[in-house]
Structure 1
Amino acid sequence: MKVEQIQRAMSVGVIGGLGAIGSADLYAKMTRTAAKAANKDKDRVKVLFGQQAFDDADMAGAENAQTNTRKLYVFDMLREFEQRGTSAVLLPCFISHTFIDEVQAEVGVPIIDMLAAIRRHLAQRLPKLQKIGVLTSSYVRKKALFEKYFAGDCELLYPSAVMQHACLMRAVYGTTGIKNGYLDGESIDLLYRACKDLLDQGAQVIVPGMTEIATVAEALGARGIPIIDTNQIYAESALNFQPGQVGRSFKIGVVGGVGPAATVDFIEKVIRNTPAARDQDHIKLVVEHNPKIPDRTDNLIGDGADPTVAIYAACKRLENDNADMIAIPCNTAHAFVERIQSYLSIPIVNMLSETVSYIGKRHGDKTCIGLLATSGTIASRVYQHAVDQYAGQGKFRMITPDAAHQDLVMDVIYGAQGVKAGFINDEVRAKLLRAIAHLVANGADVIVLGCTELPLLIAQDDKFDVGGRCVPVLDPTEILALKCVALAGPTSRKAA
């Protein structure tokens, strides 16, 4: 069979253990096919084989067989290949293809679809095919796996009940069956009888729906059976495979613990802003909750420990857990984002830039931004940088509290009876309102709560009438949550 030009630097993993004979046969055919293709292209496809101890059931293909152990095994093997950076994985097991969507949703490495490969092969080679004979296990028949791919295209034929149990299942699972290493003699005779039953029903071609049967396709063909080698077809499909977006659900990674209450607040806002009618409509989240990350403000305005490595380590763990993006619900931590972003393969959504963009879209006529933040955030000028980057310098003007009112803000956040200490009450809120009034009196058109603890006291879009001026208050945590929901895709989005 002609093989198309292969993709460079591609590695394909083969999951073994689900049927030693079938997976070994596929691996051998994959290796030979890749070697032939390499003669046309200087880069050879790297074929990897992975197998762990797996106690397969004596009759895994029985109609009412349990597949829980198999599912967990397949998931573990996929995770192993994913961690090895494999481009794609071959899963030589028809039983496992009945739950392929379940495991694909939880991993990032693509599983090459065996049934889809068989369907494409038949459509290309036998376009006028009307009746297909299928030799598959009783379990796969019950799950109607082939109907999922071929319904409407042609008629699927299966052996009679007697042939299914006395010939097909016995040829594979019997004492002298293929799974026990008997690739000739009685096992071939039994499969031949099952094939004849299908041909008598009008089958034009026989499709093995068990990888073990594909290992003896040549022997059956020598007896005049029009059977295809599904293992060879599957191997060749891997060389033509183009990796793309797989069915894994979008996942938001959250650097938590900076601070702890703000982390919970951010997650609540993501959930609240996600339109969902059921649990499954919500967005996947993974949180690296590390309150031991050194204080950001202490480092920026004093001689406190540098939190760069701790923040980076948290991001790398989220990256390794297949997060698609990272959110850091801490304004001050964004002073360290530029130091680490280029070392990550996934983006950190910049809460500060999103906040300035939000102001431009929603409050563009309000050009003076009053910032309430930690002294570290103010000293780092990260918000000023975001303002300068938005539509060029001069679009907005930013003001911050004077020394006395900045001390008030720091007391609200870090004080012995401040938010980080767990105090969220009217007394603390009154202190924050004094700082807001100070900024408004000095010309602020909009107030940004530039520390994620402050929205625990005042909500997004609360408005304050100071001296006859109605000034909106914005919560960057809420704005970040809205952006994350939007990035998660159209099925999990509220207009931002």
Structure 2
Amino acid sequence: MQDQNTPRRLGVVGGLGALGAADVFFKLVKALPGRKGQEQPELLFEQHPFHEDDIPGERSASQNGRKLYVFDMIRRFEARQVDAVVLPCFLSHTFLDELASEIRLPIVSIMDALYHHVVQRHAGVRRLGVLTSDHVRAKALFERRFPGTDWEILYPRAEVQRECVMAAIYAADGIKAGCLQGGSTERLAAACRDLTEQGAELILPGFAEIPIVIDALLDCGFPVLDTNLIYARYAVSQDAMPRTRQFKVGVVGGVGPAATVDFVDKIVRNTAARRDQEHVKLVVEQNPQIPDRTEHLLGDGPDPTVALYSTCKKLEAADADIIAIPCNTAHAFVERIQPYLSIPVVNMLSETVAHIRKHFADRKVVGLLATSGTVRSGVYHDVVMRAGLQLLVPDDEHQDLVMGAIYGPAGVKAGFTEGACVQDLLRALTSLARRGAEVIVLGCTELPLLLHEDEAFAVAGKTVVVLDPTEILARKCVSLSRQSDA
């Protein structure tokens, strides 16, 4: 919940019907709770020229331009740190589901507002008359919120819908044209009469323009609700709203490029999905120009801290919820940048050790095959020791073989995945196993391109298991995504 002492900021999307949006804004101001000074909730109203068809509410009218306009407006509000969006347009509420997975800000639902009002204030009412556009009717917006098992939704008959409802809004002398008296109100009154004759107990306007002339309808005795006022009161009453945007994993790519492709493949393979839309949402910032982590840790290369931080900030700006860095050596720099990020870096090293503790609890000696930078940084030493395990690293001779398998002219970073690089890596692995290693961690993200995770090796009369930290990281990212979506 938001701190009650912190004023909320509501962004109001204008431009989709100037008169209706202005009426909602006016009623928002009236509905604001009586607080003093800076405690008063803040309203940000913004509109831009928006070209639409002459009759955008027609059944077959394209809403593509409206969708993109609303999306862009919400992104602008996100940049201004708004807490929630007020969207006074029934047409736009027909495609809220399309927006929800792509935006961070919650949209206050006008249909939720009407539902709560009807349930709380008109508990005995079951026959609802609706005055809305042909398009909204076709999309069954009101039926979705007021299901037929509990309510009966009534619409004006076809001729009345065409000659009275649609004409009252869109005709040359309609409300959108600024004509708030005479023909427009007479047409709406005729539509209300048609609904009451059908047995409607309440009439719900499905145009933001209708509440502007509601007094004329109420004077005729029709049970019409001011949907703009109901929406405004509901919007200011919501202290906090859930954010429904789909979970997104941000990936620091390019460290190295082949390892990034391998990691994304592992995300896909570890996702139980029946169709494209059930896969994990990813954003990859592929930055091979991040300085070599090993060269810096060995004292000979430029510091990659700023480049890593810059890449993470780009992922943060791209709405990622977590950051995955498929590079073991880069984790030596995570503690430097994490305090300055608003989203967490999922620590691949910690997840690997947790995996060992959970699945190989009887094994206490961990062998590490990694770059010399990772070995000398001590990042694996620290996390392994905290878990009560022992870490073994290759001696100088075999560490040179590991570095050759990674960086050599016939190594994996040069594009080789067979031959001498594999044989050199196996020699280093065998040395660690003979010294007592029971689990071998492939502590460089290119090494799983040479050896496979969970591949068992029989060495000196015992079985040694090989683990791939990028596979473990991929599974963790998928798990976090599923937990968020649950």
Q: Does 1:449 align with 2:449?
A: no
Alignment of 1:413-432 (within 5 A): 413-432=406-425
- Name the residue aligned to 1:230: 227
* Number of the residue aligned with 2:293: 296
* Helix, strand or coil at the partner of 2:245: coil
Q: Encode CA deviations 1:75-120: one digit per residue, 9 max, x unaligned.
A: 1111111222111001111111111111111111001110110010
**Secondary structure at the counterpart of residue 387 of structure 1:** helix
Match for residue 407 of structure 1? Answer: 400
**1:104 pairs with 2:100:** yes
What CA distance in whole angstroms lies between the structure 2 residues aligned with 1:9 and 1:350?
35
1:92 and 2:85 matched: no
Q: Secondary structure at the match of 1:364?
A: coil
Could you tell me how far apart the structure 2 residues matched to 1:102 and 1:463 are? 47
**Correspondence list, 1:12-411, <5 A:** 12-34=10-32, 36-38=33-35, 43-151=39-147, 152-390=149-387, 395-411=388-404
Cα contact 2:256–2:446 (8 A) shared by 1: yes
Distance in 2 (CA, whole Å) between partners of 1:468 and 1:196 is 91
Distance 1:159 1:328 in 2: 58
Question: Is this contact kept in 1: 2:385–2:391, CA < 8 A?
Answer: no
3-state SS of paired residue (2:412): coil
Equivalent residues of 1:7, 1:239 under 8 A apart: no
The alpha-carbon deviation at position 144 of structure 1 amounts to 1.1
1:10 matched residue in structure 2: 8
Q: Would you say how many aligned residue pairs link Structure 1 and Structure 2?
A: 483
Distance in 2, matches of 1:466 and 1:295, equals 34
Q: Deviations over 1:292-341 (max 9, x none)?
A: 11111111111311111111111111111111111000000001111111
Report the Cα offset of residue 491 of structure 1. Answer: 9.3
User: Residue 469 of structure 2 is aligned with which of 471, 476, 483?
Assistant: 476
Answer yes or no: is 1:464 the counterpart of 2:464.
no
Structure 1 residue 454: Cα displacement: 0.5
Change (3 A) 1:263 1:72: same
Task: Name the structure 1 match of 2:433.
Answer: 440
Q: Is 1:12–1:47's contact at 8 Å kept on the other side of the alignment?
A: yes
Amino acid at match of 1:410: M
Identity rate, percent = 53
Q: How far 1:138 moved relative to its partner? A: 0.8
8 Å contact kept, 1:297–1:376:
yes
Give 1:485 shift: 1.0
TM-score by length of 1: 0.94
User: CA distance change for structure 1 residues 109 and 332 in 2, over 3 Å: closer, same or farther?
Assistant: same
Q: What does the per-residue CA deviation read over 1:333-385, in whole Å, with 9 as the maximum and x for residues that have no partner? A: 00111111121111110000000111111112111111111111111111111
Gapped regions of structure 1 (runs ≥ 5) = none
Shift of 1:490: 5.2
- CA distance, structure 2, for counterparts of residue 268 and residue 411 of structure 1: 26
Q: How far has the Cα of 1:276 moved from its partner?
A: 1.2
> Partners of 1:57 and 1:235 in 2: how far apart?
27
CA distance in 2, matches of 1:7, 1:111: 22
Query: How far did 1:58 drift?
Result: 0.7
Q: Distance in 1 between matches of 2:7 and 2:305?
A: 34
Residues 156-183 of structure 1: CA distance to partner in whole angstroms, max 9, x if unpaired?
A: 1111111111111111000011111111
Does the aligned pair in 2 maintain the 1:171–1:187 contact within 8 Å? yes
Give per-residue Cα distances to partners, 1:255-283, cap 9 Å, x unaligned.
00000000000011111111111111111
Query: SS of the residue aligned with 1:285?
Result: strand
Superposed CA offset, 1:114-163 (max 9, x none): 01100100111111012111100011111111011112222111111111
TM-score (norm 2): 0.96
Q: Are the equivalent residues in 2 in contact too, given 1:283–1:492 (CA < 8 A)?
A: no
Deviation of 1:42 (Å):
6.1
List gaps (5 residues or longer) in structure 2: none
* Paired amino acid for 1:25: D
Deviates more, 1:435-444 or 1:47-56: 47-56
Contact 1:6–1:37, Cα closer than 8 Å, also in 2: no
Q: Which segment drifts farther, 78-87 or 214-223?
A: 214-223
Q: Does the 8 Å contact 2:173/2:183 carry over to 1?
A: yes
CA distance in 2, matches of 1:349, 1:403: 31
Q: 1 CA distance for matches of 2:163 and 2:109?
A: 30
Look up the SS of the partner of 1:215 in the other structure. Answer: helix
Instruction: Output the amino acid matched with 2:10.
Output: V
CA contact (8 A) 2:84 2:241 kept: no
Distance, in Å, in 2 between the alignment partners of 1:324 and 1:212 is: 39
